[in-house]
């Protein structure tokens, strides 16, 4: 086989019920003669994932390793990948038809681009519903960008990203202290190395199921603690790279950019143990300070009122109302009409 144009890198751990669908979704892609290799890295599965992968024979390059987390699996896959473009896929997700041909087309039209992100369909296996995920970063381009633009840039899931190998090489290996968030780490930093393409098309089916570490109730202490530790390492290592490259503390917009990820870490910590009224107030105040530049004046006023509502209600009641409001309906539409956000900023739930 010649040099493949694209390496499909599938990382998996105990995805036996889903892994065959994931691999088939890659092998069925039509690339008009372009090369493709499929790499599956099994992070020490204890179910029948390995046996299911091996049924694909030499159509898949299969690597099995001791369980050390998603980041180590992606590191190993990157080490063995030979493609100019690497597209990631979690073993419990699936690509939609035409994904790879679309990726190739866009990278060819944008030779300087280092990263491509796209929308996804979210399939909830618990209630068998599918909906388009609205949370897509809206910024395309390269750094340096204005502080407002950088705040509008976000991250999406592993299965909705692809990158140029030569650009991403500057970020590999992903730090060994990280277990989860390989996707977030790469997406957060690749914009500082090359332009990013944002595609407003759903090319992946992202699956929510009971064993997903990002799908749990607030009382699930094991998953919350695991995610909390992973978030802390992600924030620490992302900040370390930005500091080593001279972006922090030299550029205030990059400092604010990193604070966005610290806010996520705080939210996860609140899931683990709750929050006092003062902690929640300070968290929402920081959220307003960080995102304020991309919000409308009216929406900043709305968030200011939310701060004081949190002091009155406390964490549990405030979260209950926020989640109920975030599900949609007339109250959410009314809020959007009365307090519109900046058009470049995804509407917070």
Q: What count of other Cβ atoms lies within 10 Å of the Cβ of residue 327? A: 9
Look at residue 348 in the predicted model and tell me its pLDDT.
40
Banded model confidence at residue 252, pLDDT cuts 50, 70, 90: confident
Look at residue 149 in the predicted model and tell me its pLDDT.
66
Model confidence, pTM: 0.86
Arithmetic mean of pLDDT, 35-49: 96
Q: Is pLDDT at 103 greater than 90 in this prediction?
A: yes
Q: What is the mean pLDDT of the chain?
A: 86
Look at residue 344 in the predicted model and tell me its pLDDT.
43
Banded model confidence at residue 126, pLDDT cuts 50, 70, 90: confident
Complete domains list, the chain, with CATH: 6-208 (3.90.550.10), 221-338 (no CATH)
Percent of the chain predicted with pLDDT > 90:
53
Q: Is pLDDT at 249 greater than 80 in this prediction?
A: no
DSSP string, 87-116: EEEETT-EEPTTHHHHHHHHHHH-TT--EE
pLDDT tens digits for range 132-169: 876 665 555 555 444 556 777 777 899 999 999 999 99
Q: Is pLDDT at 218 greater than 50 in this prediction?
A: no
Termini Cα distance of the chain:
48
Residues 163, 167, 170, 173, CA torsion sign: positive
Q: Which residues pair with 50 in a beta bridge?
A: none
Buried b (16+ CB within 10 A) or exposed e, 296-323: eeebbebbeebbeebeebebeebbeeee
CB of 5 within 8 A of CB of 104?
A: yes
The H or E element containing residue 30 is none
Distance CA 78, CA 297 (A): 45
Which of 17-31, 151-165, 254-268, 333-347 reaches the highest mean pLDDT? Answer: 17-31
């Amino acid at each position: 086989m010649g040099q493949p144009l694209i390496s499909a890198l599938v990382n998996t751990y105990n995805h036996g019920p889903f892994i065959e669908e994931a691999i088939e979704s890659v092998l069925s892609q039509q690339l008009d003669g372009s090369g493709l290799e499929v790499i599956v890295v099994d992070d020490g599965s204890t179910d029948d994932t390995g046996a299911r992968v091996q049924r694909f024979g030499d159509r898949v390059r299969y690597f099995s390793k001791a369980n050390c987390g998603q980041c180590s699996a992606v590191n190993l896959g990157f080490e063995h990948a030979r493609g100019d473009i690497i597209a990631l896929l979690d073993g419990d997700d699936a690509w939609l038809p035409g994904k790879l041909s679309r990726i190739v087309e866009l990278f060819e039209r944008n030779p300087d681009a280092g990263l491509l992100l796209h929308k996804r369909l979210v399939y909830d296996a618990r209630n068998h519903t599918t909906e388009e995920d609205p949370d897509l970063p809206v910024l395309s381009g390269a750094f340096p960008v204005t502080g407002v633009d950088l705040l509008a840039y976000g991250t999406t899931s592993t299965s909705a990203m692809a990158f140029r190998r030569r650009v991403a090489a500057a970020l590999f290996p992903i730090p060994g202290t990280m277990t989860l968030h390989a996707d977030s780490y790469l997406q957060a930093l690749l914009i500082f190395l090359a332009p990013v393409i944002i595609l407003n098309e759903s090319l992946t089916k992202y699956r929510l199921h009971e064993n997903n570490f990002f799908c749990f109730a607030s009382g699930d202490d094991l998953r919350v603690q695991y995610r909390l530790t992973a978030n802390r390492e992600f924030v620490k290592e992302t900040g370390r790279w930005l500091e080593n490259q001279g972006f922090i503390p030299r550029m205030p917009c990059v400092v604010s950019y990193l604070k966005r990820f610290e806010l996520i870490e705080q939210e996860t910590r609140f899931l683990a143990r709750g929050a006092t009224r003062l902690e929640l107030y300070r968290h929402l105040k920081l959220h307003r300070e960080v995102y304020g530049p991309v919000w409308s004046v009216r929406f900043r006023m709305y968030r200011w009122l939310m701060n004081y509502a949190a002091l009155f209600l406390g964490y549990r009641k405030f979260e209950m109302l926020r989640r109920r409001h975030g599900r949609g309906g007339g109250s959410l539409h009314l809020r959007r009409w009365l307090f519109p956000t900046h058009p470049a900023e995804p509407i917070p739930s």
